[in-house]
Structure 1
Amino acid sequence: MSTPTLTILAVDDEPNMRRLLEISLRQAGYRALSAGNGREALEIISQQQIDLVVSDLHMPGMNGLQLLEVLRNEHEHLPLIMVTAQGEIKTAVAAMKLGASDYILRPFELETLEIAIAKALNVKRMQQENTFLRQMQQPDVTGLVGNSAAMQSLKQMIQQVAPERATVFIVGETGTGKELVAKALHEASPRHAALFVAINCAAIPADMLESELFGHEKGAYTGALKERIGKFELANGGTLFLDEITEMPIQLQSKLLRVLQESVVEKLGGNRQIALDVRVVAATNRDPLQAVKEGKLREDLYYRLNVMQLQIAPLRERHDDIGLLADFFLAKRQCQLSEEARLCLQHYGWPGNVRELENILERAAILAGNQLIQPQHLPADIAQHAGPAAAETTTSADTNMLSIPRTTEAMERRLIMQALDACQGNKTKAAKLLEISERSLWNKLNQYQLR
């Protein structure tokens, strides 16, 4: 896997010093650009992707401190190393307080410069990772669980596809674990040390999605108060997962296609091209070819993404995995299933797939007090598959099958899951199909733990 050469801008008003910095940077393996003062530097930064700035302190027009102040306001993630003279350490410390990454004293050795650059770039990457991790709202997932023929075939495909650079299209119903498969691809790839960045194209308003993907410059639009790093740039060197790609506005799909073809991205409001080395994994809960026919997915984008396709079988087609998945989820609570409850799970159709199984087991564990889960701890439409002995126990309890509230709950749960499945997880459409408000649907999703 090739890594794009990082570009470093050397800023100094002395031609000889500027030339020395350029030579030193190239010897260290970087692409070097130069500017004679702060204003020249800002012009270059506005036109090209710069990864780090090495600037002299004293320059006419705009000195190093003034340049630093502008960069912290307009390009807060761009590191700057200040070059100062021996008697200017107090000023250098002041520059550090203003946000400089480091300072070096002239005259300096090439090794000193290399160490300062490596340190600054490492801090920049850590800051980006920390920002991303704070934004993450994804559940902790530890691995792929299942020994069915379908899962074994999927795991084998992941091992074969992971080392390649090709884009991957994951197809599966809502709740089957498409993001988990994408993470498994990333972890098994040479990119595993870099970031895995996920974005749900259906969960972000259309007018915000472009900025989320590609980033924006300060002032790109009303409310853009500072520069934003897009998900593509954040995932550089790693993997970008585009979930529910068929929900992306068709106009934005054409820009996405261009980014994939050219391996560069431009932020909104900017004209700098940022070189990318990102593996893109896309996913949908629709039939992608049907989505192409319906105009939901550009045909050229589909073929660009569908170099390799991974199909995830729904849970109802891999009954052998239900018990293993149940044990996996309940192990976190140190809770177990009775044989009768296990039988109930095996006979249920699971329209919500693995996600529904996890939510139901969490609820059952709470009702069982984290003790042995019995059929009466399960929803009525699942518990009805219990054997005679379990049915007798259930009937004798307050949660018998003749209970109107429990039967109503089971019916609502089933209708909600069917509506979500019919609408490919779109909550607005599902609410209309159910003839309830979207707010009522969200309340019921929370009530039945179906989110």
Structure 2
Amino acid sequence: MILIIDDNEDIRFTLKEICEFSEWPSMEAPNGKKGVEMLKALEPDLVLVDYHMPGWDGLKTVKEIRKHDKNIPIIVLTVEERQSVANNFLEAGATDFAMKPIKAPDLISRIKLNLKYAKLSHNDQEMFVEKGINKDTMKSIKQFLYEQENPVTINDIQAQLPIAYQTVHRYLHHMVEKGDVEVVSDYGSRGRPKNKYQLI
């Protein structure tokens, strides 16, 4: 999954279209602070971040991302061509740059290259988290939970994702143990309480 952080709605739309064309799922954040919150919740594979944004600019956002994740590829979108700007971003932890206005072929090739490099830089054990749990499957469940306003049941998740009930249960149990998800007991009007889940 690719996380898009840009305050310009039109540019976010363009970037999302480019991602969809290349069959990369994506999520959007309108500012740096929201982007870092989403990064912590969703653990994307790559971040596209704009340089000029109100509040947290791209440089501040890159620094905050690196506090949480030392390895994720970060591509900075900018109109700036000054070497000093590039140096500041590289020192902060950016891995690549794409010049605005965005050219789809250039951005797609940069994303592919950065994703490939990130994959090669991890050993096989890091591609899968502990207990035989697939990272991509866990991200799908996390993304679904992130998009819900209220806690949901395993049945709610299983109905929307192509994942078996038992698998959803196992992944939720794992995420509860890690402290990423909490269980909310819904007592309803009668009978046994239902366990519902939400991201912390």
Identify the residue that residue 78 of structure 1 maps to in structure 2.
72
How far apart are residue 234 of structure 1 and its match?
Answer: 7.1
How far apart are residue 77 of structure 1 and its match?
Answer: 2.3
Identify the residue that residue 270 of structure 1 maps to in structure 2.
180
Query: 1:117 is aligned with what amino acid?
Result: I
Relative distance call for 1:18 and 1:232 in structure 2 (3 A) is same
Alpha-carbon distance between aligned partners in 2 of 1:25 and 1:235, rounded to the nearest angstrom = 17
Does the alignment pair 1:124 with 2:34? Answer: no
Higher relative contact order, structure no. (Cα contacts within 8 Å, ≥ 6 residues apart): 2
Identify the residue that residue 130 of structure 2 maps to in structure 1.
213
Contact conserved, 1:46 with 1:271, CA < 8 A, in 2?
A: no
Identify the residue that residue 60 of structure 2 maps to in structure 1.
66
Relative distance call for 1:234 and 1:46 in structure 2 (3 A) is closer
Alpha-carbon distance between aligned partners in 2 of 1:32 and 1:122, rounded to the nearest angstrom = 17
Identify the residue that residue 43 of structure 1 maps to in structure 2.
37
Relative distance call for 1:29 and 1:36 in structure 2 (3 A) is same
Relative distance call for 1:232 and 1:38 in structure 2 (3 A) is same
1:295-444 matches, cutoff 5 A: none
How far apart are residue 89 of structure 1 and its match?
Answer: 4.2
Identify the residue that residue 159 of structure 2 maps to in structure 1.
none
Indicate the structure (1 or 2) with the bigger Cα radius of gyration.
1
Alpha-carbon distance between aligned partners in 1 of 2:80 and 2:136, rounded to the nearest angstrom = 40
Alpha-carbon distance between aligned partners in 1 of 2:79 and 2:46, rounded to the nearest angstrom = 21
Structure 1: gaps spanning 5 or more residues: 1-6, 130-194, 199-211, 215-230, 237-257, 273-451
Contact conserved, 1:85 with 1:105, CA < 8 A, in 2?
A: yes
Match of 2:4 among 6, 10, 13: 10
User: What does the per-residue CA deviation read over 1:337-384, in whole Å, with 9 as the maximum and x for residues that have no partner?
Assistant: xxxxxxxxxxxxxxxxxxxxxxxxxxxxxxxxxxxxxxxxxxxxxxxx
Identify the residue that residue 158 of structure 2 maps to in structure 1.
none
Structure 2: gaps spanning 5 or more residues: 138-163, 183-200
Alpha-carbon distance between aligned partners in 2 of 1:15 and 1:62, rounded to the nearest angstrom = 17
Alpha-carbon distance between aligned partners in 1 of 2:165 and 2:39, rounded to the nearest angstrom = 21
- Bigger strand share: 2
Relative distance call for 1:47 and 1:76 in structure 2 (3 A) is same
How far apart are residue 46 of structure 1 and its match?
Answer: 2.6
1:183-332 matches, cutoff 5 A: 195=124, 197=125, 213=130, 232=133, 261-262=167-168, 264=171, 266=175, 268-271=178-181
Query: 1:64 is aligned with what amino acid?
Result: G
Query: 2:57 is aligned with what amino acid?
Result: N
Identify the residue that residue 188 of structure 2 maps to in structure 1.
none
Alpha-carbon distance between aligned partners in 2 of 1:66 and 1:38, rounded to the nearest angstrom = 8
Root-mean-square deviation over aligned CA pairs: 3.0
User: What does the per-residue CA deviation read over 1:136-184, in whole Å, with 9 as the maximum and x for residues that have no partner?
Assistant: xxxxxxxxxxxxxxxxxxxxxxxxxxxxxxxxxxxxxxxxxxxxxxxxx
Does the alignment pair 1:115 with 2:109? Answer: yes
Match of 1:27 among 3, 12, 21: 21
Alpha-carbon distance between aligned partners in 2 of 1:235 and 1:61, rounded to the nearest angstrom = 32
Identity %: 22
Query: 1:19 is aligned with what amino acid?
Result: F
Match of 1:93 among 63, 87, 92: 87
TM superposition score normalised by structure 2: 0.64
User: What does the per-residue CA deviation read over 1:277-325, in whole Å, with 9 as the maximum and x for residues that have no partner?
Assistant: xxxxxxxxxxxxxxxxxxxxxxxxxxxxxxxxxxxxxxxxxxxxxxxxx
Alpha-carbon distance between aligned partners in 2 of 1:83 and 1:213, rounded to the nearest angstrom = 34
Relative distance call for 1:54 and 1:271 in structure 2 (3 A) is farther
Relative distance call for 1:83 and 1:89 in structure 2 (3 A) is farther
Alpha-carbon distance between aligned partners in 1 of 2:165 and 2:130, rounded to the nearest angstrom = 11
Alpha-carbon distance between aligned partners in 2 of 1:89 and 1:25, rounded to the nearest angstrom = 28
